[in-house]
Homo-oligomer: A and B are copies of this chain.
Amino acid sequence: MNTFGEYLRLTTFGESHGKGIGGVLDGLPAGLNIDESFIATEMARRQGGRNHYSTQRKEPDKVEILSGVFEGKSTGTPLGFFIHNTSSKSSDYTALKDIFRPGHADFTYFYKYSIRDHRGGGRSSARESSARVAAGAIAKLLLKEFQITLRSGILSIGDVTGEDIDFNFATKSEIYALDKKVEEQQKEAITQARKAHNSIGGVAIVSALNVPIGLGEPLYYKLDSAIGSLMLGLNGVKAVEIGSGVECSKMRGSQHNDAIYKGGFETNHSGGILGGISNGDEILIKIHFKPTPSIFIPQNSLNIAKEECSCIIKGRHDPCIAIRGSVVCESMLALILADMLLLNSASKLENLKKIYAKNS
């Protein structure tokens, strides 16, 4: 169950402190330019600035392409890739090898499998998201061919919430803040949490523009289903909103319905999705991240002998996972849209006629 997608399928493997993280992207159409420097740029975005707001674990995160590309172009065969772990310090985890860290997957992996790689969370580490960003970068290269663009940023850190949604500013901000007016306050909130050996939650926003009408496969692989699946399945995400989101429940129909005019929709409460299918409007998603579970304050827990104990965590951890998480969410939306674009190609007979015109 380490595969996502129906036509464009990403399978990932690897652990935080093993040899590395890898992936296989299958179903990519042939003839796409695979721009490795763009992939590197995306990987760097996920790593965040070398600043106080993200983990001190700094690895080059070089994506090595193992297959599926010939003379710079995709060949239609599976694109395998691997990202070597170069900076893992397993020794940080030795003291914790028999203890379940609160808020982590240690407890559930142990009882599910009766064995676990305790080093840095093993497979359950957020480090796996590097494979999602690598694959998402390739998906973006495909989407670019159709002028579909994606952006993201941070709306809230703790209870400091911005008002403006300025994706351009976010690209320059060390914490990917969307609102310049609150950026300093948000940084301060992170700094205070960090200094208290604690962590803090945050909210990310992801947007996609110029998405063609028709993407999404009802009824069980709708566009919003896929968003729900990937976003709520990401480490630390506890809530996902599309368009009007949680506010929808407070409205009446006459307020919420987006009136339709020749020029488009009057409002975008739908978040660009109607009946699980893109309607051509901006796709807007809000993702709520819990605070990093790894904190440096002693916590009550159990060990594998089911005895109560104090859990004291060391290592290098982001004080706020939402920041780098926002880039992962953007990558995952790219993967979803690319998959939907491919799936939709055979949705009607007239599409097939265009493709097989000369063969028939």
Partner of A24, one of B13, B245, B295: B13
Please report the C-alpha to C-alpha distance between residue A294 and residue B33 in the assembled complex, in whole angstroms: 31
Chain B residues near A115 (CB, 8 Å)?
Answer: 30-31, 70, 73, 75-76, 348
With CB as the reference atom, state the residue of chain B lying closest to A259: B300
Question: Would B76 and A348 count as touching, CB distance under 8 A?
Answer: yes
Copies of this protein, total? 4
Bound-complex Cα distance A63 to B66 (A): 15
Whose C-beta in chain B lies nearest to the C-beta of A250? B159
Q: Does A51 contact B (CB under 8 A)?
A: no
A112-129 contact mask (Cβ, 8 Å, vs B): 1 or 0: 111111000011100010
**Is the CB–CB distance between A66 and B231 below 8 Å?**
no
Q: Is A153 an interface residue (CB 8 A)?
A: no
Residues of chain B within 8 A (CB-CB) of A123 are 67, 75, 77-78, 218-219
- Bitwise, A203-235 to B at CB < 8 A (1) or not (0) is 100000010111011111110111111111101
Taking the closest CB of chain B, its distance from the CB of A234, in whole angstroms, is 9
Contacts A225-B230, A253-B291 known; 6 new A-B pairs at CB < 8 A: A3-B9, A19-B66, A238-B269, A239-B242, A342-B352, A345-B351
Complex alpha-carbon distance, A217 and B177, angstroms: 33
Q: Once bound together, how far apart are the Cα atoms of A306 and B111, in whole Å?
A: 40
- Complex CA gap A250/B302 in Å reads 27
| Top 5 closest pairs, chain A to chain B, by CB | A105-B275, A228-B232, A228-B228, A225-B233, A1-B217
Contacts of A18 in B (CB 8 A): 66-67
Is the C-beta of A162 less than 8 angstroms from some C-beta in chain B? no
Q: Does A45 count as interface, using CB distance less than 8 angstroms?
A: no
> Which of A36-44, A53-61, A260-268 lies at the interface with chain B?
A260-268
B-contacting residues, A288-332, CB 8 Å: 288-295, 297, 299-302, 306, 308, 322
Say yes or no: B277 contacts A214, CB within 8 Å.
no
Query: Is A147 touching B360 in the complex (CB atoms < 8 A)?
Result: yes
A169 part of interface (Cβ distance < 8 Å): no
Give CA–CA (A342, B210) in the complex, Å: 25
Indicate if A133 sits at the interface (CB-CB under 8 A): no
List residues 247-292 of chain A with CB under 8 A from any CB of chain B: 248-262, 266, 269-271, 274-279, 288-292
A179 within 8 A of B: no
Per-residue contact bits, chain A 78-97, to B (CB 8 Å; 1 contact, 0 not): 11101000000000000000
The count of residues in chain A whose C-beta lies closer than 8 Å to any C-beta of chain B is 160
Q: Establish whether residues B239 and A233, one from each chain, have CB atoms under 8 Å apart when the complex forms.
A: no
Chain B nearest CB, measured from A221 CB (Å): 4
Interface residues of A in 121-151 (CB under 8 A from B): 122-124, 128, 142, 145-147
Q: Give the residue name and chain of the B residue nearest to A274 (CB).
A: B108
Task: Tell me if A11 is interfacial: C-beta within 8 Å of chain B.
Answer: yes
Report which of B222, B300, B308 forms a contact with A233, defined as CB distance below 8 A. B222
Q: Could you tell me the distance in whole angstroms from the C-beta of A356 to the nearest C-beta in chain B?
A: 5
Pairwise interchain contact B302-A261, C-beta atoms closer than 8 A: yes
> Chain B residues near A124 (CB, 8 Å)?
218, 275-276
CA distance A11 to B61 in the complex (A): 23
Q: Does the CB pair A275–B233 fall under 8 Å?
A: no
Task: Name A311's closest neighbour in chain B (CB-CB).
Answer: B260
In the complex, chain B residues whose CB is within 8 Å of the CB of A244: 238, 290
Contact A253 B108 (CB under 8 A): no
Cβ B14 vs Cβ A289 within 8 A: no
